[in-house]
């Protein structure tokens, strides 16, 4: 029972890790993209459709990432190329992604696919309780690798330093000769690819079918995770597991028939999201991690 609960929490946290890590990189460059939900839905429908078409879930992974990246590129065109408001454009992207994914996925409703297989690590997967950590799928392992890679990139490489400097002071970065809009474009597209992978995980592992709006607000939770992590990659994993546990807790409560209204139980993950944002917003340490140029428009001609 404990093993099953632990593995369910871990699997539920994987799409949040992908989406939140990608959004973290975008925000580190100074771009606030509220369209994570829309990008995840596009990744989910693309992954399901590609897997159904080719019978290969690994092709579905690639399709999900590409769909998320393409959707993010549309967002980047408006906020970077046309200097539109990032908040309004991000909200529009969520509406666009939700509608388009529903349209594209309409013919896929009622069909099922074979998801990603389990990849067990010899010896380690046989350990008591913790062995389930080493009996996951390739995307679960990849999510941890991505967090480690992003942390190394941001803190140990020159391109990572340039990206952070663009998010801290884009005018100074531009004066030093760095191409602010180009850096932000790459960061936004990377965020889209990660959101697409997070969305792809839903039909490839969690539920082997397509349903309109199947992300069920995970994109908004991913946005909150970035704040919860104080823009530090390694904290994303901790936050994702926490929110994954809350999600499973409310499902467990419904299954056990607890004397709590189902509607309230369903609200729990989002209530925790709001609670965390309120607590973190009052912390003085939050200002240390937040990019100073976050959400601010940059035009090279000004």
pLDDT digits (tens, 9 = 90+) for 162-198: 999 999 999 999 999 999 999 999 999 999 999 999 9
Q: Which CATH number fits domain 2-289: 1.10.3470, 3.30.70, 1.20.1070, 2.40.170?
A: 1.10.3470
pTM: 0.90
Q: What is the pLDDT of residue 8?
A: 82
Domain boundaries, the chain: 2-289
Q: What is the pLDDT of residue 246?
A: 77
What is the secondary structure of the chain as a DSSP string? -HHHHHHHHHHHHHHHHHHHHHHHHHHHTT-----HHHHHHHHHHHHHHHHHHHS-HHHHHHHHHHHHHHHHHHHHIIIIIS---HHHHHHHHHHHHHHHHHHHHGGGTT-B---PPPEEPTTGGGSTTGGGGGEE-HHHHHHHHHHHHHHHHHHHSHHHHHHHHHHH-HHHHHHTT--HHHHHHHHHHHHHHHHHHHHHHIIIII-SB--TTTTTTHHHHHHHHHHHTTT-HHHHHHHHHHHHHHHHHHHHHHHHT-SS-HHHHHHHHHHHHHHHHHHHHT-TTHHHHS-TTTT----TT-
Q: What is the pLDDT of residue 196?
A: 97
pLDDT digits (tens, 9 = 90+) for 68-105: 999 999 999 999 999 999 999 999 999 999 999 999 99
């Amino acid at each position: 029972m404990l093993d099953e609960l632990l593995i369910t929490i871990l699997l539920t946290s994987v799409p949040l890790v992908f989406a939140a890590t990608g959004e973290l990189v975008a925000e580190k460059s100074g771009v606030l993209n509220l369209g994570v939900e829309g990008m995840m839905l596009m990744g989910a429908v693309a992954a399901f459709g590609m897997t159904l078409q080719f019978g290969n879930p690994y092709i579905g992974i690639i399709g999900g990432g590409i769909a998320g990246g393409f959707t993010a590129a549309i967002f980047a065109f408006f906020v970077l190329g046309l200097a539109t408001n990032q908040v309004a454009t991000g909200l529009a992207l969520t509406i666009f992604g939700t509608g388009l994914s529903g349209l594209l996925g309409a013919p896929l409703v009622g069909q099922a696919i074979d998801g990603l297989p389990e990849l067990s690590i010899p010896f380690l997967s046989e350990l008591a309780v913790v062995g389930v950590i080493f009996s996951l799928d390739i995307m679960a392992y990849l999510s941890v690798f991505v967090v480690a890679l992003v942390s190394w990139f941001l803190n140990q490489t020159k391109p990572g330093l340039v990206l952070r400097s663009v998010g801290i002071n884009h005018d100074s970065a531009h004066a030093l000769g760095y191409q602010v809009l180009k850096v932000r474009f790459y960061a936004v597209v990377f965020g889209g690819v990660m959101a697409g992978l997070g969305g792809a995980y839903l039909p490839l592992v969690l539920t082997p079918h397509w349903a309109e709006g199947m992300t069920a607000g995970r994109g908004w939770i991913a946005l909150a995770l970035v704040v919860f992590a104080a823009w530090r990659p390694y904290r994303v994993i901790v936050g994702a597991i926490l929110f994954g546990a809350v999600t499973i807790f409310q499902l467990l409560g419904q299954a056990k028939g607890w004397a709590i209204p189902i509607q309230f139980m369903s609200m729990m993950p989002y209530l925790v999201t709001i609670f965390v944002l309120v607590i973190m917003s009052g912390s003085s340490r939050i200002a240390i991690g937040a990019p100073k140029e976050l959400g601010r428009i940059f035009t090279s001609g000004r």
